[in-house]
Amino acid sequence: MSIDAPSHLDLPEHVRRFPFPFPHDRYMYSVNVEPGRNPSQTAAGRWGERILEVDGFYLQDLEARAAVLDRDPSRAAQMSHMRPGVWGALHLVLTELAATYPEWMAYERHGDRCRWTNRLQQLQTDFIVGADYSLPEGPLRFLSTQVQDDFALLNLREGALWLDAGVVTFAADWSMGFDVGLPFSEIHGPVPRAADLGVIDRAEQFLLNLQPGDPYRRTNWTMTVDRRMDTSTESYPEWAQDRSLVATDPALPDRLHLRVEVQHLIKVPTTGDLLFLVRTHLLSLRELAAVPAWGRRLAEVLRTLPEDLADYKGIARYRDAAARWLQEADAA
């Protein structure tokens, strides 16, 4: 065993299964899609063999989502023509959960009549496909109570993809309420360099050609102060100041987190809509430094990240302090 490889058994499960996103010391935007259900080995363990991941933060994350939705219902949005797509997404997700975690979850369907059991929530409920009244708050909100992932549904019309439904409570500096009803290309317009590199056009063409039963995934990343899941545009006043103050805070290695989104892309068989699942994982700098290969690589990524990308990701104020702490931790 290399001296850089800690014993996996010594690491907590959320570290062993963390989707560390950097294959190289320098980062640049790319389409970076790969087939779903594909196990990915890391310096700390493995992740990626499942579409949906239920972990030790399950109930905590769902409670946080419910609080956000109570405070701001605009995080859940559905255009009227998306009812069939939402029901199709619900069936797809419940089927996947039950197949992945049969010890906790079960999904039975006989025609349009269904029964869903979730032992983690001590929940059993019966509903009728297509009858919104048969589920508490309807199928869109019900789906958001069963998975830690945010989700969006993209509808194909006029030769393009449009964000027409979803529940997004853990957005990284964007707004579901603002973006709903916009085309894919316009939503990603503010990403620096992405349009010039052709990333957005290639990504949309790839998504348009996805086939049902053929899931794909990609990762995206930024950083977040504290284990704050909701860093949306709407909650900006609550977290923006932390980005300035954390650089000189002695608690920086515990407060600053690498934030990684695992984004799964699945075509809904019944409607052809595209289901976009976004699962957010957070790991503090101190936890990252426990895996020396990760700490060294993240320090290099932060140190070499172009200024416009650092500004876009909102990490410009503290990235030097973070890289310096990681380098010092590696040398200690």
Catalytically annotated residues: 218
Q: Can you spell out the DSSP letters for 124-191?
A: EEEEETT-GGGSTTHHHHHHHTT-SSEEEEEEEETTEEEEEEEE-SS-BS--HHHHTT-BHHHHTTTS
Helices 319-331 and 292-304, interaxial angle, to 10°?
150
Name residue 47's beta-bridge partners: 40
Q: Which of 272, 306, 311, 314 is nearest to 82 (CA)?
A: 272
Token representation of residue 105 = 């979850």
Q: Is 275 exposed, middle or buried (0-12, 13-18, 19+ CB in 10 A)?
A: buried
135 φ, ψ (degrees, to nearest 5): -125, 140
3-class DSSP state of 120: coil
138 φ, ψ (degrees, to nearest 5): 85, 170
3-class DSSP state of 324: helix
| Residues across the chain | 332
Strand ordering across the sheet containing 150-157: 34-35, 216-225, 256-267, 274-284, 150-157, 160-167, 76-78
Token representation of residue 16 = 């062993």
Strands 256-267 and 216-225: antiparallel
Task: State the Cα–Cα distance between residues 161 and 200, nearest whole angstrom.
Answer: 12
Residue 208, CA distances (Å) to 129, 153, 157, 159 in order: 27, 13, 11, 9
Q: Compute the half-sphere exposure of residue 246: CA atoms within 13 Å on the CB side of its CA.
A: 27
